[in-house]
Amino acid sequence: MTVTAVVQRWLLRLMLACYVLAGALPGPGEALRGLVLRMPMGASVLTLPMVLLAMMLFNAGLGVRITDLRVVLCRPARLVLGIAANALLPLLVLPAVALGLRAWPDPGEAEGLVVGLLLVLAMPIAGGAASWGQTAGGNVPLVVAMVIGSTVLSPLTVPLGIHLAGRLVGPHGAGILDDTTTVDVIAGTGAGVFALVSVVLPCLAGIAVRVALGEDRVHQVLPAVKAVNLVNILLLCYVNAAGALGQVLARPDSDLLVLALGLSGAVCCLTFCCGRWMSSWTRCDRPDGISLIFATGMNNSSAAAVLAAGWFSHRPGVLLPILSYSLLQKIVAGAAGRPSRPERRS
């Protein structure tokens, strides 16, 4: 077994170790997160987390085979359903979460949790949905097409989802957000550009490079790309976590930590259950149904963490549910991907 295969197998444990390291030694992570590259035009800047995220999406695009996408486009109904379900589900889930949190004694903490979940649920389908779906026996070309479609549409769907969800949980909705100004600014100016620059363009660049290199050359470099990507994922995990866990553990609040974990886990399980219900309701065959489950249940939490770190670095409570969601959705995906036990014959 290669080193890359071992790391892939232990990825969840290594991510948890990155969280522990970020809580115990946040200084290097905060220093790395503060590295900024100023762009020659305008006042735009690139941070290290944005670069790491772009590299991760580029590698994801490099793993996409165009021939697989062509097959899926011949039957677009399942593809449209998966993308639409992932984009619209936050509008149903977040108001219920906000109503439940109105009983929480600290409105600031409740607001931070809702904003964190709002950001992660607004993100496109996670690239990891393809690998988890493949392990579970899903229709891999279909779930890859869902990931690409959701990613390409993210400059439109992410700001719109953030804006609508902010209205639903704002003063005229569930009322958990007293001031939706920051959320509206992110939706109006930050989220669309962020999705285009850090998510869409790197992914399309990866696809274009694969087409230019050809399948034979790509297969030669893919093992090295996978190794680099695993290091990239763990470094991004540590850098994002250092911004929140260092501040949280400096002033520990066990109730808030338990609530963030419990709420993120409940929402994550709910999204997977909704995907399972839709696959049953639409009478999908098993491979298509598995693809729909993972497309509905998995969001790009890394992108949400990078966006939150840029806008809410002073509020670690916003990053807490995102980091919790990032870890827990992989646990839920592992459980959802286990093959069902064969029925015993009497």
The span from the CA of 113 to the CA of 150, in Å, is: 24
Burial 42-59 (b: 16+ CB within 10 A, else e): eeeeebbbbbbbbbbbbb
Longest dimension (CA), the chain: 73
Neighbouring residues of 340: CB distance < 8 A, sequence distance ≥ 6: none
Q: 108, 101, 145: which is closest to 125 by C-alpha?
A: 145
Domains of the chain: 10-336 (1.20.1530.20)
pLDDT the model gives residue 42: 47
pLDDT of residue 63: 77
Does residue 38 sit in helix, strand or coil?
Answer: strand
pLDDT digits (tens, 9 = 90+) for 122-148: 888 887 787 777 667 778 788 888 888
Q: What are phi and psi of 175, to 5 degrees?
A: 85, 15
Predicted structure pTM score? 0.81
Tell me the CB-side half-sphere exposure of residue 101, using CA atoms within 13 A.
29
pLDDT at position 250 over 70: no
> Residue 37's beta-bridge partner residues?
46
Candidates 227, 279, 221; CA nearest to 81 is 279
Of 165, 170, 171, which is closest to residue 91 (Cα–Cα)? 165
Say which amino acid occupies 201.
L
- Residues 245, 70: Cα–Cα separation, whole Å: 43
Which residue's entry shows tokens 């902010």?
166
The angle at the Cα of 147, spanning 141 to 150, to the nearest 5 degrees, equals 135
CA distances from 162 to 86, 96, 244 (A): 13, 16, 21
pLDDT in tens, 12-49: 788 888 888 888 888 888 888 777 766 554 445 677 88
Q: Of 142, 228, 155, 221, whose CA–CA distance to 191 is shortest?
A: 155
- Percent of the chain exceeding pLDDT 90 equals 0
Model confidence pLDDT, tens digit, residues 267-321: 888 888 888 888 888 887 788 888 888 888 888 888 888 888 777 777 777 888 8
CA angle 209, 55, 233 (to 5 degrees): 135
First to last CA, the chain: 40
